[in-house]
Amino acid sequence: AQSVTQLGSHVSVSEGALVLLRCNYSSSVPPYLFWYVQYPNQGLQLLLKYTTGATLVKGINGFEAEFKKSETSFHLTKPSAHMSDAAEYFCAVSDNYGQNFVFGPGTRLSVLP
């Protein structure tokens, strides 16, 4: 079975500062890893996804994440935060058979002016 932990339920950064949201996963088989974003009062939107191959994944809105198997991590970064990045961010994992999928608990990102 897969599981996901996200360190920090709430992260605050200043506008223009680096964004780092942490995700660690547990999986007995090669994982597929996702980052979804949920803006207030909206559904979720995929930011990026790791399947196989290149471990550095670039997504929308300037976000990227790196799959590190040795650390079982898939941290999300953005070099410069924008006010519009304020949202809830969910890391998720699926097994490579596509039969299990689970979201992490989420991290709320606040961006301060």
Partner 1 sequence: DTEVTQTPKHLVMGMTNKKSLKCEQHMGHRAMYWYKQKAKKPPELMFVYSYEKLSINESVPSRFSPECPNSSLLNLHLHALQPEDSALYLCASSQSGGVDLTETQYFGPGTRLLVL
Residue in this structure with the two tokens 């590190």, named with its chain if needed: 68
Which two tokens mark 111? 């961006």
* CA distances from residue 33 to 22, 29, 55, 96 in whole angstroms, order as listed: 13, 12, 11, 10
Cβ proximity to partner 1, 66 vs 95, nearer residue: 95
Residue from 5, 44, 72, 77 in contact with partner 1 (CB under 8 A) = 44
Shortest distance, position 69 Cβ to partner 1, whole Å: 17
CB of 49 to partner 1, least distance (A): 6
28 binds partner 1, rule: CB under 8 A: no
51 touching partner 1, by CB under 8 A: yes
Tell whether residue 43 is a contact of partner 1 (CB under 8 A). Answer: yes
- Go through 41-80 and write b for each residue having 16 or more CB atoms within 10 A of its CB, e for each that does not: eeebeebbebeeeeeebebeeebbbebeeeeebbbbebee
Measured CA to CA, the distance from residue 93 to residue 23 in angstroms comes to 10
Complex with partner 1: residue 7 or 44, whichever CB lies closer? 44
The residues binding partner 1 (CB under 8 A) are: 32, 34, 36, 41-46, 49, 51, 90, 94-96, 98-101, 103-106
